[in-house]
Chain A
Amino acid sequence: MSVDVLHEPSVIEGRPTFHEINEHITKPTEVRPDRKYMIALAITSSLLALGATCMIITHWYGIGMWGNNNPVGWAFDIVNFVFWIGIGHAGTLISAILFLFRQKWRTGIARFAEGMTIFAVMTAGIFPLMHVGRPWLDGWLFPYPNQNKLWVNFTSPLLWDVFAVSTYFTVSAIFWYMGLVPDFASMRDRATVKFKKVIYSIFSLGWRHSNRHWQHYEMMYLILAGFATPLVLSVHTIVSFDFAVSILPGWHTTIFPPYFVAGAVFSGFAMVQNVLIFVRKIFNFEHIITLDTLEKMNKIMLATGMMVGYAYGMEFFIAWYSGSPMEMFVFVNRAFGNYAWAYWIMVSCNVIFPQFFWSRKIRRTIPLMFIIGVFVNVGMWFERFVIIVSSLSRDFLPSSWAYYTPTFYDIGILLGSFGLFFTLVLLFIKTLPVVSIAEVKAVIHGSQPTHKGGNH
């Protein structure tokens, strides 16, 4: 078989025309939702309703409704926060880092992944805001000249978190929105209903597809990608500082920042892969979100999964190498102590199952990769649970040791967070183009000039 190395295969299968792309991508937003969609929405919104009820009750009576208590002061709330923030990271990785590396296969999934980033960060943001106990005073997290004449503590990792997460959300939202502007313009010019036309006109800002604009637009996209790349690395680094800067054995390690970032990308890709499998099937996007793309995502999961596995091993080594009896105890306790069940769920889901991705066949079989993706998400949720709860439940003083069990409200809010996330995803699918129209048009066959007879 001879391969033409100069011509990489087009990332979009088949040879759709520009008009077909337009039609195809905007179709889900223009037809009435079908039965399947409504059923899905019913499920997710009932989960959301459950979570919302539990949250309202928590707001009313206070966070005593949760299982958190001495010594486990951080539990589901922070576990969920770290989990959801991590899910978001895959979106930025796909949209910004792969953009800088000029990976064209990202075009089919970038918009969707960015959207998931935003929804995941929104979901994540709820948890620390609730965790403070009096959520209506959350404004105090931000430094502003207030009547108490107080300033926040700029040297605390928890405040770094406030800055990191809010910056991350803002920049991701801007990045996403700027990507959408040309597509809003295309949809505006397709819209036949007056109401839709007004809405799209407002959001398209009056975009004219002018090349005098495209020029700066592409520059802006590059700049934002350049900013988003270190930003995404910083966010989970700072999240990991919440733990690493403390003195608790099991938290106080320097491997946390890279380990957390790798874990975030790992779980994020698993989530994006899971959701995309449904989206491409339901909306017939198989030629835009191709099997090749999914396979590439599985490869990234394999790589990041092994980084996470390496970190697990290294943590044990350092605990032994440190010679600190506290450290050593914590890690032995992790693997064989009161939360050993959670630890082994984590290891098998995150390290063992992804090894199946070595086989090309499994990488390209949709049901199998879906199952492994689900396992990865379960495993990554348990990773945060193990780190947070098992370290806290047995700290320095054996007299204060306790076993943490979640209450109904903890579990309700966890389910509710999935409800919120997937409801937002479903609404997104029906209202906005889930694939970037302009970007896909730019990468299909024959979209760029051949420069025949040109001055190049």
Chain B
Amino acid sequence: MQEKVLYAMSALFDTPDAIIQAAESVQKAGYKKFDVNTPYPVHGMDNAMKLKPSTLGYFAFIIGIFGAIMAVAGMGYLTGVDYPNVMGGKPFFALPAFIPITFEVTVLSASVATVVIMIAFFFKLPNNSHPVHNTEYMKNVSDDKFGVLVEAKDAMFDAAKVEDLFRSLGASRIIPIYYDLEDIRTVGNIFRPKFVLFLAIVVFVSAGLTYGVLNRLLFIPPFTWMVYQPRVNAQQKSNMFADGSGMRNPVDGTVARGWMPYRYSGKPDEAGLNLVNPLIPNTHTLDLGKKNFDVYCSPCHGYLAKGDSRLRGQFPNPPTLHSDKVRNWTDGRIYAVITDGQNSMPSYSRLVSPSDRWAVILYIRELQRALNAKQEDLK
């Protein structure tokens, strides 16, 4: 049987005046590790105990400012850089519209942080195994008595002297407080079976819930009703129309936007005479032309249009596009080749839109000029 270990000597007083006086005397006697426990905050006690003013406010201030900066920076980044989208004609960095959220985030972060910092770092709570718990002393101070205690750890501590001091102050009761031996033995040991079991349950329950909700629950009705709603999807059968098809053909003669019918089919020379390139060369159109050329034409014609196919003989190599013939062709004539194809070259009218075709031609002109640069081009 181990001996009891003393934590502190404590005394109870009946009135707020008495406790203030007691706190002052204990403080004056030079004790450092002492505390006063009262059922409610007694005015003037901080002064009597000579406590420094609380620094909690600085933490609230710093974290509040931090929250505000994070909110503005975060919103600026998300709406301006990561996902730029014009909303309501506002600029990407719409500071006035950010104010409400910035304010809320400031308040939220500062209040949560103040409370968490206070509990965890100022108070070192939660702590239900402190020696004063479950003592007569605690029961009284949380009801109607005012208590003061001097810890045995104090450098000047001497149980008899402390008791004398308390008695001279008129304490109504003097109670020694001992450590709970069980607590001393288990302090700092996080591998207690109960605790490990608790953690395991938390892990299983939260993992199970997350899995169940995200992978199971959301795939049963009514959560799936948006997906399986009564409607006709493209290519589906429908009894609504006589032909049994869910889709309708456009009215005869319908012309899709930007897809005017090509009038010079099989008449490349006429096309060469009549068609004019509507685009002018600039960085945008040349860039567009290069992209389309590299994707659609370069496999056969080569990146520089020299006829150096990358198809390794699996398709007849086309002639170079730097021949005098092609250089002297009008843009419309080349357009005719792309649109109709020529001999073994297939038509590209389905893959490359009209305006992209004109852009490709501008790019071909650029390539031709680059390989046959005239004197003035070099300036």
Physical interaction between A and B: yes
Say whether B57 contacts A223, CB under 8 Å.
yes
Complex interface bits, A126-159 against B, C-beta within 8 A gives 1, otherwise 0: 0000000010100000010000011101111101
Q: Does B90 contact A (CB under 8 A)?
A: yes
A70 at the interface (CB under 8 A from B): no
B190 within 8 A of A: no
- Residue from A185, A208, A228 whose CB has the most chain B CB atoms within 10 Å: A208
Q: Give the CA-CA distance A450 to B16 in the complex, in Å.
A: 8
Residues of B within 8 A of A231 (CB): 104, 107
Q: Is the CB of B104 within 8 A of A234?
A: yes
How far does the Cβ of B187 sit from chain A's closest Cβ, in whole Å?
Answer: 14
Counting CB contacts under 8 A, is A367 at the interface?
no
A220/B115 in contact, CB under 8 A: yes
Would you call A53 an interface residue if the criterion is a C-beta within 8 Å of the partner chain's C-beta atoms? Answer: no
Chain A min CB distance to B1 (Å): 26
Q: Mark interface residues in A14-43 (1 if CB within 8 Å of B CB, else 0).
A: 000111001000000000000000000000
CA gap between A201 and B128 in the complex, in Å: 7
Does B313 touch A at the CB level, under 8 Å?
no
Instruction: Enumerate chain B residues within 8 angstroms of A207, measured Cβ to Cβ.
Output: 125
User: Please, which residues of chain A bring their CB within 8 A of the CB of B110?
Assistant: 223, 227
Task: Compute how far the CA of A174 lies from the CA of B112 in the bound complex, rounded to whole angstroms.
Answer: 8
- Stretch from A109-117, A304-312, A357-365, A438-446 that touches the partner: A438-446
A456 at the interface (CB under 8 A from B): yes
Task: Indicate whether B165 reaches chain A with its CB closer than 8 angstroms.
Answer: no
Q: Are B100 and A160 in contact, with the CB atoms below 8 A?
A: yes
Q: Out of B56, B78, B122, B126, name the residue touching A205 (CB < 8 Å).
A: B126
Chain B min CB distance to A182 (Å) = 8
Cα distance, A62 to B229, chains bound together (Å):
12
Q: Are A19 and B125 in contact (CB under 8 A)?
A: no
**Known pairs A163-B104, A234-B103; A211 contacts B16 (CB<8 A):** no
One of A74-82, A164-172, A377-385, A400-408 contacting the partner? A164-172
Q: Which residues of A contact B222 (CB under 8 A)?
A: 59-61
Q: For A19, what are the chain B residues with a Cβ–Cβ distance below 8 Å?
A: 143-144
Give the residue of B39, B82, B98, B127 whose beta carbon is less than 8 angstroms from that of A438. B39
Interface centre among B24, B38, B79, B110 (most CB of A within 10 A): B38
Cβ–Cβ < 8 Å partners of A22 in chain B: 143-144
Q: Which residues of A contact B133 (CB under 8 A)?
A: 201, 206, 208
What mask results when residues 422 to 456 of chain A are scored 1 for a CB within 8 Å of chain B, else 0?
00000000000000011101100011111110111
B68 at the interface (CB under 8 A from A): no
A134, A175, A207, A446 — most chain B CB neighbours (10 Å): A207
Q: Report if B204 contacts A (CB, 8 A).
A: no
Complex: chain A residue closest to B43, CB-CB: A448
Flag whether B297 is at the interface (Cβ < 8 A). no
CA distance A164 to B19 in the complex (A): 44
We find that the number of chain A residues with CB closer than 8 angstroms to chain B is: 77
Report yes or no: A216 in contact with B123, Cβ–Cβ below 8 A: yes
Report chain A residues within 8 Å CB of B19: 449
Q: Could you tell me the dominant secondary structure of chain A's interface residues?
A: helix
A211–B37 CB distance below 8 A: yes
Question: Contacting chain A: which of B44-52, B258-266, B360-368?
Answer: B44-52
A218 within 8 A of B: yes
Are A156 and B104 in contact, with the CB atoms below 8 A?
A: no
A213: Cβ under 8 A from any B Cβ: yes
> Is A49 located at the chain interface by the 8 A CB criterion?
no
> Would you call B114 and A224 a contact (CB within 8 A)?
yes
Report whether A238 and B142 are in contact in the complex, using a CB–CB cutoff of 8 Å.
Answer: no
Is B54 part of the contact surface with A, judged by Cβ < 8 Å?
yes
Given contacts A154-B97, A155-B88, whether A223 and B60 have CB atoms under 8 Å apart is: yes
Whole-angstrom CA separation of A447 from B14 in the bound complex? 11
A residues near B118, Cβ cutoff 8 Å: 216-217, 220
> What CA separation (Å) do A212 and B33 show in the bound complex?
11
User: In whole angstroms, how far apart are the Cα atoms of A437 and B142 in the complex?
Assistant: 10
Chain B residue, CB-CB nearest to A212: B35
Q: Which of A157, A170, A189 contacts B142 (CB 8 A)?
A: A189
Q: Does B41 contact A (CB under 8 A)?
A: yes
Residues of chain B from 1 to 41 with CB closer than 8 A to chain A in the complex: 15-17, 19-21, 23-24, 35-41
- Contact call A234/B100, Cβ cutoff below 8 A: yes
* Contact of B40 with A447 in the complex, beta carbons under 8 Å: yes
Q: Does B132 sit within 8 A of A, measured CB to CB?
A: yes
Q: Once bound together, how far apart are the Cα atoms of A154 and B90, in whole Å?
A: 11
In the complex, which residue of chain A has the Cβ closest to the Cβ of B223?
Answer: A136
Say whether B43 contacts A449, CB under 8 Å: yes
Point out the residues of chain A lying under 8 angstroms from B144, CB to CB.
17-19, 22
A256 contacts chain B at the CB level, 8 A cutoff: no
Beyond A155-B98, A164-B104, A211-B46, list 20 extra A-B contacts (CB 8 Å). Answer: A17-B144, A18-B144, A153-B85, A159-B101, A174-B112, A208-B37, A209-B141, A210-B37, A211-B42, A211-B49, A214-B40, A215-B46, A220-B56, A223-B111, A224-B115, A241-B100, A438-B39, A438-B41, A452-B17, A454-B21
A residues adjacent to B (C-beta < 8 A): 17-19, 22, 59-62, 134, 136, 143, 149-151, 153-157, 159-160, 163-164, 167, 170-171, 174-175, 178, 182, 185-186, 188-190, 201-202, 205-220, 223-224, 227-228, 230-231, 234, 238, 241, 437-439, 441-442, 446-452, 454-456
**Would you give 6 A-B contacts (Cβ < 8 Å), ordered by A?**
A206-B125, A209-B39, A213-B123, A220-B118, A238-B100, A455-B24
